[in-house]
Amino acid sequence: MLKKSFSKEKWTEALEGLRSAYKVYVPVKEGDFHNFRLLENGRKPNFEFQNTRLSPKSVILPQSERMFEYTLDESKENAHVVRESAKNFSPQVIVGIRPCDALAFDLVRINFDNPQFQDPWWVRRMESTTLVGFACNEPCASCFCTSVGNGPFSEKGLDAFMVDLGDRYLVRSLTAKGEALLDKIGFGAEADDALLKKALSLPRAAEKKITSKVPTEHLREKPVNELFNAPFWERVSFACINCGTCTFLCPTCWCFDIQDEVSGKEGDRIRNWDACMFPLFTLHGSGHNPRDKKLQRVRQRFMHKLKYYIDKYGNGPACVGCGRCVQFCPVNIDIRKVFELMNG
């Protein structure tokens, strides 16, 4: 395991140097928020944030992705042949991912990479991606990661881990991918005992700052029908406007729709993010919609996260406690309260 120390200026320099070997995704300040963006000329990483508004899931599962294409123009090669669209699986690195978002990739993996089915594009992108975590010294007020099997200094699913020590970063490799990344940087001082000791003093202090707790101990044993027919769903769903903010912000939401788009003699099959909160999500070609009511859609979202996922995979819940949906829901629906209702 490599343990390197970088001044903050040198770390920015190191990330610039990595662009020759990787596509480098970093947190970038955009107005009042931070989001992960590709490091390009004129774009500067900014690590002064609690969490990004959007998780970096789009790096692995693009919000819109061309899957296949075809042409009916017989003057072109491969006319009338459906071809897989060109994709880029070159090495890439996500730098500054919080532990909650790293855990989300592990939870989502079971849907895209399991013994029965592998999404080849998701799998290849994950294989080509190095995840560099960033410890949470100052967790968000809405964060409850310690209640769902995670923590502000958790290293689950990461290849390397960086800790903010004030004037510098301590960066440790955790896997062969992480070690290769630090080798590629080629500089940085070996972390001394004083820095390592300082880093070890931070996790407990960070965990004490997480005051939001949610109960989970009874979710597994609760009968599905009891939760499905519970009277509290009317109350939970009352204010919802089905905007989909919660699902698009959530790092563990993976729903998508597939559409065919045609222009003249050219056509594409495109995969786009979708959301169970949208009325059209379950609309059948016949016109029938099994979830045509708002209550049904709200119930589905929470049942999937906090019950169906647990029962199907023996893991979970499918929530990492990042608190994004709590922060950004325009009508203040709070998943922490739903945990209490479903677990009670």
Examine the pLDDT at 125 and tell me if it is beyond 90. Answer: yes
Cβ proximity of 81 and 70 under 8 Å? yes
- The residues spanned by each domain of the chain are 3-343
Strand pairing class (129-134; 92-97) = parallel
Show the tokens assigned to 76: 């072109």
For 220-264, how does the pLDDT look when each residue is reduced to its tens digit (9 = 90+)? Answer: 999 999 999 999 999 999 999 999 999 999 999 999 999 999 999
At 189, phi and psi to the nearest 5?
A: -80, 145
Cβ proximity of 214 and 339 under 8 Å? yes
Cβ proximity of 134 and 47 under 8 Å? yes
Residue 242 has a pLDDT of: 93
At 192, phi and psi to the nearest 5?
A: -90, 175
Coarse DSSP helix, strand, coil percentages of the chain, rounded to the nearest 5 percent: 35, 20, 45
Residues 217 and 204: their CA atoms lie apart, in Å, by 23
Residue 191's pLDDT band (cuts 50, 70, 90): confident
Residue 57's pLDDT band (cuts 50, 70, 90): very high
Residue 187 has a pLDDT of: 86
Characterize 179-214 residue by residue with b for buried, 16 or more Cβ atoms within 10 angstroms of its Cβ, and e for exposed.
bbbbebbeebeebeeebeeebeebbeebeeebebeb
Residues 163 and 96: their CA atoms lie apart, in Å, by 10
